[in-house]
Amino acid sequence: MPSSIENINRSLALETLLSEYKELYGLAQLRLLALDRRIPIVGGLLTAFLSSVPVLPGLSQILALMAVPISLIWLVRTTINHARSFEDAIRGVEHKEHQINKLLSEDLIGFQRTHPSRGNTVGGRTGSETVWAVMLASGLLLAMSLVMVLSMYAEHRMMILFYGGYILGIFTLLSRSLLGWQAYRYQTNAQSQ
């Protein structure tokens, strides 16, 4: 039978683990909220901004046509970072579930460690759907930008070639970010040491 000191230590350990568990779930909710709301709103704003390019004066058109594609790098990387952080949070919750169950010598909690999509995609279903949606929207915005340049500056071949290379460079950076996201794997402190 455990002594009263062992019971106090066990109680303190459980309280600490549950506190960390709650904080990790709070972090997961924050990342999920960012993936669900903030990222699509920014994508919508970029689309609206690009749509207004034809009514801008000449130099402003060119600046806007340069700004929108490069801002997609920020949008995609931010989305991927939120998806990875969401993955880290839910894997942290899963780790706490293991620790709590081990401390109590009973299988009491296990939502994350038994979740059907666990480990299938980085950031779970929401992270995956959001990253792919942002990538698709970014590809469409890149194509729209290129079409706009082709239609508005058809007589400037060098500008079209330069802009085509610019769009290809942005697309390459976005693709590399996507590949990095797919290769990401959560590591606990013990795995990273």
In the predicted structure, residue 77 carries a pLDDT above the cut 90 = yes
Confirm if 2 and 104 have CB atoms less than 8 A apart.
Answer: no
Q: Whole-prediction pTM value?
A: 0.81
**CA gap 42, 102 in Å, rounded:** 43
Give backbone dihedrals phi and psi of 115, rounded to 5 degrees, phi first: -65, 135
**CA gap 71, 190 in Å, rounded:** 37
Mean pLDDT of 153-182: 93
Q: What CATH number is associated with residue 73?
A: 1.20.1050
Q: How would you label 105-125 residue by residue, b for 16+ Cβ within 10 Å and e otherwise? A: eeeebeebbeeeeeeebbbbe
Angle at 77 between CA 83 and CA 131, to 5 degrees: 45
Q: What is the extent of the structural domain holding 83?
A: 4-192
- What is the phi-psi region of residue 187: left when phi exceeds 0, alpha when psi lies from -120 to 50, beta otherwise? beta
In the predicted structure, residue 37 carries a pLDDT above the cut 90 = no
Mean pLDDT of 101-121: 74
> Worst-scoring range by mean pLDDT, 8-12, 70-74, 104-108, 109-113?
109-113
Give backbone dihedrals phi and psi of 122, rounded to 5 degrees, phi first: -70, 120
Domain total of the chain? 1
Q: What is the pLDDT of residue 66?
A: 92
Q: pLDDT (tens digit, 9 = 90+) per residue, 161-173? A: 999 999 999 999 9
Mean pLDDT of 151-161: 88
**CA gap 54, 10 in Å, rounded:** 67
Confirm if 93 and 24 have CB atoms less than 8 A apart.
Answer: yes
- Residue bearing tokens 């013990």: 190
